[in-house]
Amino acid sequence: MASDQVNIKRLAQELNISIATVSKALNDSYEISAKTKNRVWDLAKALNYTPNPAASNLRSHKTKTIAVIIPDVANNFFSLAIKGIEEVARIHGYHVLIYQTHEDTEMEISFTNSLLNGRVDGILTSVSSNEYNNDYYRDLVKKVPLVFFDRVYESLQTFKITTDDYESSFAATQHLLDCGCKKIAFLFGLEKLPAGRARFSGYQDALKANEIDFDEQLILHYENLEEQNVDNIEQLFQQHHPDGIFSSIEEFIIPTYLACRNMSLSIPQDVKVLSFSNLSSAKLLNPALTTITQPAFDIGHEAAKCLFKILNNKGFDDEQNIVLKSTLIKRTSTNC
């Protein structure tokens, strides 16, 4: 291991000047002569000097690091969002810490708390699926620069980057109706979060706008077990014969396909399927699947930009709420 770490002390010794001078020179202080600066810079480069981050953090209370807290890295939406975040962070010379909560609220809070002692300059977070921690976050935003993205608590007046869940959900439902669907089932996920509820409202209101009665029976709630979802969907088909499926989360797609296969229902002839999805392989999905795709990368990008705005302005008392647009991607020649 490098026992001969090069630090400003070493530079100072080699140049026969004081540590303070080296420090100032490295920071391009106006009170150092050009000549000295050059000597310092040259040697620093020659010796491959880089400042010790722990030491400068301790002094300056800046870590050049942000944290991203999300439910799951191996999720198309979040991995794309991270990509966006990482890109912005890199431009600002920042480092990015990743934490996944696995939808576990306690883990989420535990991670977050572990970041409050100055480990990071700011946090980007996409909360787990419930609002139990509303009070927690209300306090938290006073302690650390924090930007919520995608999964937010609506009741919190802070920085939030979201998508137009209501509008896109409305449009999606309208699309299914336009395609001739009369009985559209709604596969419900993220029920405890604004995003999930907004998607549900969009669905309901689109039905209303088309003077179609809302039918509680056509609503299916997400279960954590995949087989259970398949069973539930099959049962839904058997009992209520929907001619359209609108899934509010990506996790329902596979169960829907499996259920249809099991029941020999073909898509989109027998039933039209539309789902929220960020599957990178969406192009390959059965061409009958129309999707609503969120701009995951852009959300990460915007969220990070927002955080850096806060970090630079030092003032993070003013709320900001950015809403990005999702895209309805139609897959078939029949447009359904």
* Interface with DNA (CB under 7 A): 5, 7-9, 16-21, 23-24, 26-27, 29-36, 51-52, 55-56, 58-60
Q: Give the separation between CA 36 and CA 320, rounded to whole angstroms.
A: 46
Place of tokens 């669907």: 181
Query: Angle at which helices 165-178 and 194-209 pack, to 10 degrees?
Result: 40
19 binds a copy of itself (CB under 8 A): no
15: exposed, middle or buried (Cβ count in 10 Å: 0-12, 13-18, 19+): middle
Q: Which is nearer to DNA, 19 or 279 (CB)?
A: 19
By beta-carbon proximity to a copy of itself, the closer residue of 30 and 93 is: 93
Cα radius of gyration rounded to whole Å, the chain: 26
Q: Which are the contacts of 274, defined by CB distance < 8 A and separation ≥ 6? A: 172, 175, 176, 244, 245, 246, 247, 289, 290, 291, 292
Least Cβ distance, residue 59 to DNA (angstroms): 4
- Judged by CB under 8 A, the chain residues 253 through 312 that form the site for a copy of itself are 253-254, 257-258, 279-286, 297
- Cβ-count burial 101-116 (b if 16+ within 10 Å, e if not): beeeeebbbebbeebe
The one of DNA, a copy of itself, none whose footprint includes residue 4, by CB under 5 to 8 A per kind, is none
- Residue 271 DSSP SS3: coil
Query: Among residues 65 and 321, whose Cβ is nearest to a copy of itself?
Result: 65
Closest CB 115 distance from DNA, rounded Å? 15
Confirm or reject binding of residue 1 to a copy of itself (CB under 8 A): yes
As a 3-state breakdown, the chain gives helix, strand, coil percent values, each rounded to 5, of: 45, 15, 40
Instruction: Please report, in angstroms and rounded to a whole number, the separation of the first and last CA atoms in the chain.
Output: 61
**Residue from 86, 108, 165, 302 in contact with a copy of itself (CB under 8 A):** 86
112 binds a copy of itself (CB under 8 A): no
Q: 58 vs 91, which CB is nearer to DNA?
A: 58
Segment (H or E) for 221? strand 219-221
Identify the burial level of 135 via C-beta atoms within 10 angstroms of its C-beta, where 0-12 means exposed, 13-18 middle and 19 or more buried. exposed
Binding status of residue 2 toward a copy of itself by CB under 8 A:
yes
Site size for a copy of itself, by CB under 8 A? Answer: 53
Q: How far is the CB of 288 from a copy of itself (least distance, A)?
A: 11
Stretch of 58-66, 149-157, 197-205, 262-270 lying at the interface with a copy of itself (CB under 8 A) = 58-66
Check binding of 249 to a copy of itself (CB under 8 A). Answer: no
- 105 makes contact, choosing from a copy of itself, DNA, none, with CB < 5 to 8 Å by partner type, with none
As a whole number of angstroms, the distance between CA 267 and CA 336 comes to 10
Which residues here bind a copy of itself, judged by CB under 8 A? Answer: 1-2, 5, 48, 50-55, 57-58, 63, 65, 72-76, 79-80, 82-83, 86, 90, 95-100, 113-114, 116-119, 142-144, 253-254, 257-258, 279-286, 297
